[in-house]
Structure 1
């Protein structure tokens, strides 16, 4: 398991943009599962949408990417940043709302040098909320 203290040492993100609370499963260069507890105190709920709070889809994809970044670093890529190159096949199935605990499942599809391709899924309980494929580059 990767706790929040270790996440701080791996990712450069900080509040309000750090979107992973912990990693509960990890297999180097294969798979990782992260957790994001979604609360009404999230700053984006003030404007998205005040009377019907919904987590922005782009932030769900970003949370998946942060789990992927943690996986890359824990797989031996240290001291570097991970940058999006492309996002594909994104689907938003159900809204993510305050009180949801997102389980962010990320798998490596392909890796060549410093370029990684991932598939990610976001669940709340057994309900699929979102899915995407994304490519990222590890760079200094």
Structure 2
């Protein structure tokens, strides 16, 4: 299991943009399952929305992608690289994520060819699907 300090050794994200707290299952270069505990103290809740706090969908997708980045950058081949979004496809938001939720982030890297790859992921609260997307990533 990887905790926050372990994750920070793999990906360059830091607070407030580090959106995963731990990774329980990891197959380097293939897949990862991570978790994000969503608290009322998240900086985005100050404006989204003060009277009805909901985690922005784009940040849920970012958390999915960061989990995929842990899978990618845990591989020896990509350890010293950076990974960026190249595109987001088929994003669907199924349920709201509110303070107190624990997001389970499941990501799989489907294809990597040269510096371009495709991944897919889903975010769950308990066993209820909150969001899903396919993403293209660029390795630098």
* Short-chain TM bin: over 0.9
Question: What 5-or-longer segments of structure 2 have no aligned partner?
Answer: none
Question: What are the residue-to-residue correspondences of 1:23-62 with 2, within 5 Å?
Answer: 23-62=23-62
Q: Distance in 1 between matches of 2:132 and 2:8?
A: 25
Does structure 1 conserve the Cα–Cα contact (< 8 Å) formed by 2:91 and 2:133? Answer: yes
Residue 85 (structure 2) pairs with residue 109 (structure 1): no
TM-score, length basis structure 2:
0.96
Residue 123 (structure 2) pairs with residue 122 (structure 1): yes
Q: What do residues 6-63 of structure 1 show as CA deviations (whole Å, max 9, x unaligned)?
A: 1111121111110010111011222110100000000100100011100000000000
Q: 1:80: which partner in 2?
A: 81
Q: 1:19: which partner in 2?
A: 19
Q: Distance in 1 between matches of 2:74 and 2:88?
A: 22
Q: Distance in 2 between matches of 1:12 and 1:111?
A: 21
Question: What 5-or-longer segments of structure 1 have no aligned partner?
Answer: none
Does structure 1 conserve the Cα–Cα contact (< 8 Å) formed by 2:30 and 2:72? Answer: no
Q: 2:69: which partner in 1?
A: 69
Residue 34 (structure 2) pairs with residue 8 (structure 1): no
How many residues are matched? Answer: 139
Task: Name whichever of 121-130 and 4-13 sits farther off.
Answer: 4-13
Structure 1 position 91, deviation (Å) = 0.2
Structure 1 position 80, deviation (Å) = 1.4
Q: Distance in 2 between matches of 1:78 and 1:111?
A: 15
Structure 1 position 69, deviation (Å) = 0.7
